[in-house]
Amino acid sequence: MADTNREDAFVVFDRVQKSYDGETLVVKDLNLSMPRGEFLTMLGPSGSGKTTCLMMLAGFETATHGEILLGGRPINNIPPHKRGIGMVFQNYALFPHMTVAENLSFPLEVRGIGKSEREEKIKGALERVQMGDFGGRRPAQLSGGQQQRVALARALVFEPELVLMDEPLGALDKQLRETLQFEITHLAHELGITTVYVTHDQTEALTMSDRVAVFDDGMIQQLASPDKLYEEPQNSFVAQFIGENNTLEGVVTEIRGDLCEIRLDNGEIIDAKPVNVSKVGERTRMSIRPERVEMNKERLQEGAHTLKAEVLEFIYMGDIFRTRLRVAGNDDFIIKTRNAPDQLRLKPGEKIEIGWLPSDCRALDA
């Protein structure tokens, strides 16, 4: 987008639209450009259009309108097998009737690469994913994680410049998923491959990517680096979708530069940072991250607003405590506190006061 120059962009979506039935748009006016070597994640709920974008890039779907460029070349009319894009599928899509080595050999054979060179590349690719000893096995004899490694090796073995991954870790258990997340990012950076990664798991998106494009309703809601996305969501959807989030609703009563005053629905007044509000009288939804809520008055800024809260539930989660509060009529207000020896363990029914820095409370669209 704005931060990437169109000229040195490697992958470009230019005003791309997609409709399946001619009545509704699945992808509405998508503009995106990626520099070479970037790891970009398309994140969004199911039906948000992220997989369709990936399929258009791979060539399995055609864009209804707009252009997709790869290395400066429009690829709308290039069939998938000529695009030279590696792809990892959600269900691995390893050919069940071929061994692991034959699976890896397939892309090399169709490219007419000689036998000795093929073997060398297969060996290298398998070793890269720590599957060196499994060349003779059939996919059905491998565990899910091993299959995913082979699928990755197969997508990389013909040295594509762009690799697409469609929820590749969706079917794996949590621990394995985390291990593979690191392996995939390391590999991608090591080899300098441009990667487009599709997932609906926001943790995965945050931990792996250089940039994340949050999709909803066929549009990119926000395209930013993970930290920006988490800390500075541009609208309520992103705030809600990425990480845990507390919301309070109210009406803007005053805007003073980078601070605004908001009257909550129960009449209380708080300060917030105006992000998506423009005029007094507008309804707004504020987003406060649970870990930015402060219970210790001493740590609060001079003159900061505080709100009364009633403890509804205290959940012990090991490393942190999660406390559910009723704040300004919202029963789902969560705060997170670190499990430290001096940390308070609140009991249900306790009345406390909470507050936060106005800059941590972002006034977004209602």
Partner 1 sequence: MSDQSLTSSAAAPTPSNGPMLAADGTPLKKSLNRALRRQKTRALMLIAPLLIFILVTFIAPIADMLFRSVENQIVSETLPRTVVAINEWEPEETPLPPNDAFEAIYRDIFVAAEEKTHTRLGSRLNYETTGISSLFRKSGRAVDDVGERYVDAISDALPDWKGAGPWAVLGDAAHPALPGYNDAWKDFARVSTASGDDPATEKPWELLFVALAEELRAGALNEYDGPLGTELAQLSTALEPVAPVDYRAAMVEVDEDWEDPDIWATIKTYAPPFTPGYFLNAADMKYSADGIEVKQESERLYGMLFQRTLLMSLTITLATILLGYPVAFLMANLPMRISNLLMIFVLLPFWTSLLVRTSAWKVLLQQEGVINDLLVWIGLIADDGRLVMINNATGTIIAMTHILLPFMILPLYSVMQTIPPSYVRAAKSLGATNWTAFWRVYFPQSVPGIGAGSILVFIVAIGYYITPELVGGTTGVFISNRIAYHISTSLNWGLAAALGSILLVVVLILYWTYDRIVGIDNVKLG
Nearer to partner 1, 111 or 351 (CB): 111
Cβ-based neighbours of 179, under 8 Å, separated by 6 or more: 145
Residues that bind partner 1 (CB under 8 A): 58-60, 79-87, 89-91, 93-97, 106-107, 110-111, 154-155, 158, 164
Shortest Å distance, C-beta 101 to partner 1: 14
Shortest Å distance, C-beta 160 to partner 1: 9
CA terminus-to-terminus distance, the chain: 26
Shortest Å distance, C-beta 304 to partner 1: 54
Cβ-based neighbours of 22, under 8 Å, separated by 6 or more: none
Nearer to partner 1, 107 or 243 (CB): 107
Cβ-based neighbours of 266, under 8 Å, separated by 6 or more: 328, 329
Nearer to partner 1, 158 or 314 (CB): 158
Six-digit token string for 107 = 């892309």
Nearer to partner 1, 159 or 258 (CB): 159
Angle between helices 115-128 and 144-156 (to 10 degrees): 130
Shortest Å distance, C-beta 98 to partner 1: 8
The amino acid occupying position 151 is: A
Nearest to 101 by CA among 154, 40, 54: 154
Nearer to partner 1, 110 or 315 (CB): 110
Shortest Å distance, C-beta 286 to partner 1: 43
- What distance in Å separates the CA atoms of residue 40 and residue 27, rounded to the nearest whole number? 18
Nearer to partner 1, 167 or 261 (CB): 167
- What distance in Å separates the CA atoms of residue 238 and residue 247, rounded to the nearest whole number? 12
Shortest Å distance, C-beta 324 to partner 1: 42
Shortest Å distance, C-beta 92 to partner 1: 9
Shortest Å distance, C-beta 39 to partner 1: 19
Shortest Å distance, C-beta 37 to partner 1: 20
Nearer to partner 1, 91 or 207 (CB): 91
Shortest Å distance, C-beta 83 to partner 1: 8
Nearer to partner 1, 157 or 325 (CB): 157
Six-digit token string for 305 = 């607003």
Nearer to partner 1, 87 or 270 (CB): 87
